[in-house]
């Protein structure tokens, strides 16, 4: 999405709830055999099933290179907004759309669904809502401040285990680009390995090295985020928020200049519409939260100020 203008075709890839007008095309299965409804405690060899009708797929780099493919690098994508809802996120991998989306997503070069899902309940970065999305009735959409610690208002991340190529493809689509587009600077396997090493260095002072490392464990924000898409786009700032089972946990948000603007009050935040909140709440319920608990979590963060010093600390 572009600031103030959405994607280049003015149809940002956000899910539109039934109460907001839309033109759905794809039919969605009402039941999905084998779907993970609660977070998995360990990576599963059985992928989650996509429930959308995908468009024709491009070949992944590994498949198009011919011969034996090297082992895939796996990462965890940490979602905090509408992609917490599994059905919504699947469209970035499998392509197509589900009921309420305004257009088909191209999907990943590799349409394989996530092999596992988990939940990090309290990571001390602040969730907030900003910009104005035409898809969401002019309401704000979710961002997370990955440059400050917010121990009193931590964020819940739903983690999806996918390949690094798939993460790069999701990043491109969230910024209105086709997977593999030159405008999106992709992460490499070396980048992923470096981020894991950096987090392990941050955790080296701990008595024992845990299987999971994030800001709530180390008390630090971790390795710095990097701009991977043009600054005028909303989600080009990639951050490794931790390590799980030896693999990096990656997310994306708005860039550092914008985060400073939101904290100073120079850039206003914008509360989300009810339909957007409903989508995130449904995703949190899939992760095991009760409906009232999920809505209370979101209400607290919608009402919180980004300019307040309470609960936030720069590191």
What pLDDT score does 11 carry? 38
What's the confidence (pLDDT) of residue 47? 58
At residue 236, the pLDDT reads 95
Q: Both tokens of residue 221?
A: 């924000």
Please give the full DSSP string across the chain, using - where no structure is assigned.
-BTTTBSTTS--S-B--TTS-----S---S--TT---S--SS--SSPPPP-S---PPPPPHHHHT-SSPPPPPEEEEEE-SGGGSHHHHHHHHH-B--TTBSS-B---SS-PPPSEEEEEEEESSEEEEES--TTTTT--EEEEE-SEE-TTS-EEEEEEEEEHHHHHHHHHHHTT--TT-TTS----HHHHHHHHHHHHHHTTTSSS--SEEEHHHHSS--SPPEE-S-TTBTT-EEEEEEEETTEEEEEEES-HHHHHHHHHTSS-B-PPPHHHHHHHHHHHHHTT--HHHHHHHHHHHHHS-SS--TT-EE-
pLDDT score recorded for residue 208 = 76
C-alpha–C-alpha distance, residues 162 and 157, integer Å: 15
Q: What is the pLDDT of residue 103?
A: 76
pLDDT in tens, 23-37: 233 333 333 333 333
| pLDDT score of 311 | 46
Distance CA 309, CA 315 (A): 14
- Give dist(CA 109, CA 201) in Å, integer: 33
How far apart CA 101 and CA 25 sit, in angstroms, is 9
| Ranges under pLDDT 50 in the chain | 1-45, 52-57, 62-70, 310-311, 313-315
**What are the structure tokens assigned to 11, written together?**
């149809």
Q: What is the pLDDT of residue 267?
A: 96
Query: Which residues in 226-256 are b (16+ Cβ under 10 Å) and which e?
Result: bebbeeebbbbbbbbbbbbeebbbbbbbbbb
């Amino acid at each position: 999405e572009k600031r103030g203008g959405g994607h280049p075709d003015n149809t940002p890839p956000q899910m539109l709830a039934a109460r907001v007008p839309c033109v759905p095309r794809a039919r969605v299965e009402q039941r999905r055999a084998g779907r993970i409804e609660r977070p998995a405690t360990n990576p599963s060899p059985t992928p989650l099933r996509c429930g959308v009708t995908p468009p024709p797929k491009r070949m992944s780099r590994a498949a198009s290179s011919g011969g034996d493919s090297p082992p895939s690098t796996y990462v965890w994508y940490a979602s905090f907004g509408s992609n917490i809802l599994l059905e919504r996120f699947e469209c970035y991998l499998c392509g197509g759309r589900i009921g309420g989306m305004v257009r088909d997503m191209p999907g990943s070069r590799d349409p394989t669904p996530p092999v596992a899902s988990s939940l990090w309940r309290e990571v001390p970065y602040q969730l907030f809502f900003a910009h104005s999305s035409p898809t969401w009735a002019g309401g704000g959409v979710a961002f997370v401040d990955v440059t400050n610690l917010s121990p009193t208002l931590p964020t819940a991340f739903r983690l999806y285990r996918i390949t690094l190529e798939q993460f790069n493809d999701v990043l491109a689509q969230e910024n209105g680009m086709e997977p593999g587009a030159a405008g999106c600077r992709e992460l490499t396997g070396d980048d992923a390995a470096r981020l894991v090493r950096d987090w392990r260095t941050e955790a080296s002072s701990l008595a024992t090295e845990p299987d999971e490392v994030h800001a709530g464990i180390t008390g630090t924000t971790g390795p710095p985020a990097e701009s991977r898409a043009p600054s005028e786009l909303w989600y080009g700032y990639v951050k490794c928020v931790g390590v799980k089972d030896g693999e990096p946990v990656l997310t994306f948000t708005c860039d550092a200049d914008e985060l400073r603007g939101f904290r100073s009050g120079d850039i206003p935040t914008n509360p989300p519409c009810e339909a957007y909140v409903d989508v995130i709440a449904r995703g949190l319920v899939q992760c095991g939260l009760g409906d009232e608990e999920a809505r209370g979590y979101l209400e607290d963060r919608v009402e919180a100020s980004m300019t307040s010093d309470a609960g936030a600390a720069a590191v």
